[in-house]
Structure 1
Amino acid sequence: MSLVISLGVVIALLLLLGLALTLKIVKQYEQGVLFRLGRLAGTRGPGLRTIIPFVDVLHRVSLRIVTMPIQSQGIITRDNVSVDVSAVAYFRVVDAVKSVIAIENVHAAINQIAQTTLRKVVGQHTLDETLSETDRINLGIREILDVATAEWGVEVTLVELKDIQLPDSMKRAMARQAEAEREKRAKIINAEGESLAAAALGDASDTMMAHPLALQLRNLQSLVEIGVDKNTTVVFPAPLMSTIGELGAFLSREAAAAALPPTPHPVDLAKTARAPGNGSSSLPQNN
């Protein structure tokens, strides 16, 4: 009796083992590639699938998008600047048969070719292009990877530069360049402001020349602004140009008057006529 029970247990275990070897589950995001005696026997979709034990081999391939980080690469740009660039690539299998037959390990192969492509593409650009034109670099890397991996049944959907590390000396040089650029822009803006201010002052002077009372109103406004500070300064406004003109005319008159000879006084002329020895004096007459 015990022998029969033991034999039944062994048979049950063998059936369970055979059932486990015969039934395979392919998940919704997977596709099975079936090999029978080493030859391709087709693909199997999602669900419960049966195979012949020890005859069939089923490889399940994931069709989901895979995120693969590309480790940092030491790259020399076209203008001989050493940078460390890391990126991330997104790809998915579109042909499960090719991904199993055409290449041994598709993930490792894509990782290696992504590193070499990153180094090649970034090395063809200058540092400024690498920092400012990342979209174009990403597109170039993706196109090269897409062509190389098409034979493996893989589609590269996206490549993005993740981090760009610069040497400290280059960071300081770029900081100085940015500071100089901002100073240049500040000087240009200041010069443009001076030009606009000069044009506005010219228009204001033309208005004041056409309307003389406008200058007086401006002087009164200046007095009001000075009086706000509550100081003891006394201001006598006067048109500057007219004051300078009057001062010049006064100095000219004074110089002309100083250059003329002095006019003799009438009293001095009488004293000269009565002086003895003068030929014009009269003598007493005898009758």
Structure 2
Amino acid sequence: MPALGIAIVHQYERGVVFRLGRVRGVRDPGWCWMIPLADHMRKVSLRTVTLPIQGQQVITRDNVSIGVAAVAYYRRTDPVKSIVEVESVETAINQIAQTTVRNVVGRSKLDQVLSETETLNADIQRVLDVTAERWGVVVQLVELKDIELPQAMQRAMAREAEAEREKRAKIIAAEGEALSAGKLAEAADVIVEHPVALQLRNLQILSEIAVEKNSTIVFPAQFIESVRAIERYVDAEAAAAHRNGASAAGR
């Protein structure tokens, strides 16, 4: 159909018309007239392009060699520039993306690469966008999708994480012991003032053990001494009540 002077441009395309080698304009979607033999149209897609950035070895700022792969999304916004300013947009974006990823990751430490991925993505996108603007391209998004660590580094990080968990567990256990010791001290003060409380606690423990009905309970000598202490306490209380009653009667 171009030989007949008619060209059809799809909705997602724009047609750049060259007349005798010079740009004569951009055609919108639909059909358009062209001068046979004089006009030549190159169609440019405005759809978003997914560009995988192949993995490459990068040495971080703290001298750790890692493998990094990424993916970029871009689209053409200026059909004329995307044809006139660069020979192949796809190749140019791919090469500059690989270089930018290597440079940005190489300026960062390993901890930053692992924990601040969003910041690195934004830095890579900003550098690519400035360069690609001259080619009529907008880089919409860049994502680091695969970070490979050496086996030795993975084992070291696993040991570090395990040590950190053990440290937190010991701190929590120590805090629990300190809290428990304080409560036991308070309970001991109460028991000293009220010996019956110790007996009640012993009876409570025996009651809990007896629920299972499969245990043999042995009363230690301390239990007998506790019973005697209770008897002395009851006798002392009865004597004090008797003395108080006698004093009241004498009055």
Indicate conservation of the 8 Å contact 1:94/1:155, yes or no. yes
- Counterpart position of 1:56: 39
Alignment of 1:107 with 2:90, yes or no, is yes
Equivalents in 1 of 2:2, 2:204: separation in Å? 106
**Superposed displacement of residue 193, structure 1:** 1.1
Return closer, same or farther for 1:149/1:162 CA change in 2, 3 Å cut-off. same
**Superposed displacement of residue 203, structure 1:** 2.3
Which amino acid is 1:53 matched to?
Answer: P
Which amino acid is 1:48 matched to?
Answer: W
- Counterpart position of 2:155: 172
Identity of aligned residues (%): 57
> Of 110, 130, 134, which aligns to 1:147?
130
SS in structure 1 at match of 2:75: strand
Alignment of 1:220 with 2:203, yes or no, is yes
Alignment of 1:233 with 2:218, yes or no, is yes
Indicate conservation of the 8 Å contact 1:223/1:235, yes or no. no
Indicate conservation of the 8 Å contact 2:2/2:34, yes or no. no
Runs of 4+ in 1 over 3 A off after TM superposition: 209-212, 225-229
Which amino acid is 1:233 matched to?
Answer: V
Which amino acid is 1:145 matched to?
Answer: L
Indicate conservation of the 8 Å contact 2:66/2:147, yes or no. yes
Equivalents in 1 of 2:27, 2:76: separation in Å? 15
Matched residue pairs, number? 223
Indicate conservation of the 8 Å contact 2:3/2:37, yes or no. no
Return closer, same or farther for 1:17/1:90 CA change in 2, 3 Å cut-off. closer
**Superposed displacement of residue 57, structure 1:** 1.2
Equivalents in 2 of 1:143, 1:207: separation in Å? 70
Q: Give per-residue Cα distances to partners, 1:189-244, cap 9 Å, x unaligned.
A: 111111111122122223333433222211222333444543152334245xx9xx
Which has the bigger relative contact order, CA under 8 A and spacing at least 6?
2
- Counterpart position of 1:256: none
> Of 8, 19, 25, which aligns to 1:36?
19
Which amino acid is 2:215 matched to?
Answer: K
Equivalents in 1 of 2:2, 2:218: separation in Å? 111
Equivalents in 1 of 2:215, 2:154: separation in Å? 53
SS in structure 2 at match of 1:31: strand
> Of 87, 101, 111, which aligns to 1:128?
111
> Of 174, 186, 192, which aligns to 1:209?
192
- Counterpart position of 1:254: none
Q: TM-score, normalised by structure 1?
A: 0.73
Structure 2 unaligned blocks of 5 or more: 230-251
Q: Give per-residue Cα distances to partners, 1:107-151, cap 9 Å, x unaligned.
A: 110000000000000011111111111111111100110111111
Structure 1 unaligned blocks of 5 or more: 1-15, 243-287
